[in-house]
C-alpha cells in the first residue's frame, strides 16, 4: 500500500515543539517547518491533547496558514480522554479541523489503542464514525496508533481491516522488550499488509544523552549523532514507511535532515554498537518512560510523573547529583511532589508503556526524599 502524496520517509512529530514562556515558540517552529519542507518532506503528525491543545494551533499558524493545503500531509487523532460517547466524536472532530486550520485530514488515527481503549472505541462506534468522515471527504485514510501486545493488534486489524496504516513504537531499546513487543507488532502489521509509521524512535529523547559506556560504543563506530543511529534503526525495518521525530529546535531538525535526506540503513558495525548500548540499558534498569504525559492528564494530584522519572533515570544512569535540586525546585513551583501520590492508579490505566507507576513513584521518594 502506498500513499502518493507523502514525500519521503521522515515525518515531523508535533508532540514536543519548541516552547517559550509556556507557549509554542512559533518563530522557531516556522524555521523548522521551512527547513523540513525545503528538504522535500511534508508529513506532520499532531493530536488534540498534545501540549494541551497548543500543538494543533501551532500546526495552523506555522504550517496550514503558510503553505498550500495540497503541499503537506497532516495526521490528527481521536484520543480517548476527549470523548465518552459517540455523540461527542463529531463535535470534537470539527473542533480539531478548526484548530488546525484545515478542511480535511489526510489521516485520522484511533489514538493509543490497547485492549481496554479498543473496547471503548468499539462501544462508541468510533471506527465507524471515522469511516463516515472518509465518506464525507473530510478524512482520506483511517489509521491507528498502538500501545499493547501483538495479539491485541492482530485482533484490531482482523476486526477492522479498513485500517490502512499503523503507528507503532519502534526503537532499538524496546524492539525485543516483552512489555512493548515492537518486533512482534511489526510482524503482525506485515501479516495484515499494513504499512507502519514509527513513533518514539529516540524513546522520547532518552536515547540522545546516553550513559558513558553506551556513548563509547557509538563513538567507536563513527561521528553520527545519537539520533541518527536511533532513527535509521527504525527506518531500516521491513514494513516501515515513515519515521516520526519529535523535534524541539532548529538544530535538532537540521541534524535529522542531514541523515534522513539520503537515509542509509545501519551497517554491521553500527548494529553491533546498538547491541552494546541495549546491554548497558538492560544492566542499569532505566525506567522506560517516553514522556508522553498521558499520566499527568488523568492524575488528580497533577503530579509531573515523567519529570520525576527523568530525574530518577538521570540519577541512575548518569549519577547526576544536580537532579536532586531540580526535583526540589519542581516541587516548590507546583506545590506537589511524588510523595503526594494517592495511589489511585489512574496513571497506570493510561500508560502506553504499562509501567507500575505507583511503585516507581515510591522509588522516586526513596531516592530524592520529599
**pLDDT tens-place string over residues 246-292:** 999 999 999 999 999 999 999 999 999 999 999 998 888 888 888 88
- DSSP letter at 64? I
| pTM: predicted TM-score of the whole model, two decimal places | 0.83
Average pLDDT over every residue of 58-66: 98
Other CB atoms closer than 10 Å to residue 65's CB: what's the count? 9
C-alpha grid cell, residue 291? 514522556
- Select from 313, 317, 314 the least CA-distant residue to 280: 317
pLDDT at residue 318 tops 70 = no
Q: What percentage of the chain exceeds 90 in pLDDT?
A: 79
Within the chain, all domains assigned CATH 3.20.20.100 are found at 10-282
C-alpha grid cell, residue 194? 499494513
Higher pLDDT: 62 or 312? It is 62
pLDDT at residue 365 tops 90 = yes
Higher pLDDT: 317 or 324? It is 324
Sequence-distant contacts of 333-341: CB under 8 A, at least 24 apart: 334/302, 334/304, 336/301, 336/302, 336/303, 337/303, 337/308, 337/365, 337/370, 338/303, 338/305, 338/308, 338/362, 338/364, 338/365, 338/368, 339/365, 339/370, 340/301, 340/303, 341/301, 341/303
**pLDDT tens-place string over residues 8-27:** 999 999 999 999 999 999 99
pLDDT at residue 129 tops 70 = yes
Coil/strand/helix, residue 350: helix
- For domain 10-282, say whether CATH 3.30.160.340 is its number: no
- Cα of first residue to Cα of last residue in the chain, in angstroms, is 53
Amino acid at each position: 500500500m502506498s500513499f502518493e502524496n507523502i514525500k519521503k520517509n521522515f515525518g515531523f512529530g508535533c508532540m514536543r515543539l519548541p516552547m517559550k514562556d509556556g507557549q509554542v515558540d512559533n518563530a522557531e517552529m516556522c524555521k523548522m517547518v521551512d527547513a523540513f519542507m525545503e528538504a522535500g518532506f511534508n508529513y506532520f503528525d499532531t493530536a488534540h491533547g498534545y501540549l494541551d491543545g497548543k500543538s494543533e494551533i501551532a500546526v495552523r499558524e506555522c504550517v496550514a496558514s503558510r503553505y498550500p493545503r495540497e503541499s503537506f500531509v497532516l495526521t490528527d487523532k481521536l484520543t480517548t480522554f476527549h470523548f465518552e460517547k459517540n455523540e461527542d466524536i463529531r463535535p470534537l472532530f470539527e473542533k480539531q479541523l478548526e484548530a488546525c486550520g484545515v478542511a480535511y485530514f489526510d489521516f485520522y488515527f484511533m489514538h493509543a489503542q490497547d485492549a481496554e481503549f479498543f473496547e471503548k472505541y468499539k462501544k462508541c462506534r468510533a471506527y465507524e464514525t471515522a469511516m463516515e468522515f472518509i465518506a464525507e471527504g473530510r478524512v482520506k485514510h483511517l489509521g491507528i496508533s498502538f500501545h499493547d501486545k501483538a495479539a491485541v493488534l492482530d485482533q484490531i486489524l482482523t476486526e477492522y481491516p479498513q485500517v490502512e496504516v499503523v503507528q507503532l513504537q519502534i526503537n532499538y531499546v524496546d524492539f525485543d522488550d516483552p512489555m512493548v513487543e515492537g518486533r512482534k507488532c511489526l510482524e503482525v502489521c506485515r501479516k495484515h499488509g499494513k504499512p507502519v509509521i514509527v513513533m518514539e524512535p529516540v524513546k522520547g529523547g532518552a536515547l540522545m544523552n546516553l550513559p558513558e559506556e553506551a556513548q563509547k560504543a557509538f563513538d567507536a563506530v563513527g561521528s553520527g549523532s545519537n539520533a541518527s543511529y536511533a532513527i535509521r534503526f527504525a527506518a531500516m525495518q521491513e514494513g516501515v514507511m515513515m519515521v516520526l521525530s519529535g523535534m524541539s529546535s532548529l538544530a535538532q531538525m537540521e541534524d535529522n535532515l542531514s541523515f534522513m535526506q539520503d537515509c542509509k540503513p545501519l551497517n554491521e558495525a553500527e548494529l553491533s554498537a546498538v547491541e552494546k548500548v541495549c546491554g548497558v540499558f538492560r544492566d542499569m534498569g532505566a525506567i522506560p518512560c517516553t514522556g508522553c504525559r498521558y499520566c499527568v492528564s488523568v492524575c488528580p494530584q497533577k503530579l509531573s510523573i515523567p519529570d520525576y522519572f527523568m530525574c530518577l533515570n538521570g540519577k541512575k544512569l548518569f549519577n547526576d547529583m544536580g537532579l536532586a535540586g531540580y526535583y526540589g525546585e519542581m516541587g516548590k513551583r507546583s506545590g506537589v511532589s511524588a510523595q503526594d501520590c494517592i495511589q489511585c492508579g489512574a496513571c497506570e490505566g493510561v500508560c502506553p508503556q504499562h509501567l507500575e507507576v505507583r511503585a516507581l513513584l515510591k522509588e522516586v521518594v526513596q531516592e530524592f526524599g520529599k
